[in-house]
Amino acid sequence: MKKNSCIHHFQKIQDNIKHLTSLVSDVLLIHNTENERYKLNITSINLVSFCQQIVEDIQAIAQDGLIIKFNYQDNNYPSQWDERLLRQILTNLLSNAIKYSPEESIVYLELFQKTSNYISHHRFGNRYSYRKSTQVI
């Protein structure tokens, strides 16, 4: 096996380990939330940068040929969020999108304002179009 190929495979393994660790953490978060043990930890974040980072993280574990695109209207979104909970929601949303997308398709994460609510929206498909919207807040 060539050195570059080995490095690529080790990077994929490392990315998958991070993803699996995150999934276990998410399960614990959901469990604590359902049992009302989770207290919101509202902090100030840049929502656009936050979403861009999540897209980069998920893109690293996506199957080859699948592309995730992030679109937003402006950078004037509220800055007060529970970062851990929002990360879990968006990671789950994008993970499901890439899991059920056909090979070599494009997954979109779009952030836009609609009457004081902020909507995370994704659609995927190449030849077949499928749309799903999820209200985040």
In CATH, what number is assigned to the domain containing residue 111?
3.30.565.10
10-30 pLDDT, tens digit each:
777 877 777 677 777 767 666
SS3 72: strand
Question: Does 23 reside within a domain?
Answer: no
Distance of CA 112 to the CA centre of its chain: 16
**Residue 50: band (very low, low, confident or very high) from pLDDT cuts 50, 70, 90:** very high
Q: Tell me how many domains the chain contains.
A: 1
Give the DSSP letter string of 103-120.
TT-EEEEEEEEETTEEEE
According to DSSP, residue 37 is labeled -
Q: What percent of the chain stands above pLDDT 70?
A: 71
User: Is 22 within the bounds of a domain?
Assistant: no
Q: Specify if 91 maps to a domain.
A: yes
Q: What per-residue confidence (pLDDT) applies to 130? A: 46
* pLDDT tens-place string over residues 51-61: 999 999 999 88
Mean pLDDT (the chain, rounded) = 76
Domain assignment present for 32? no
pTM recorded for the entire structure: 0.62
* Domain interval for residue 108: 41-135
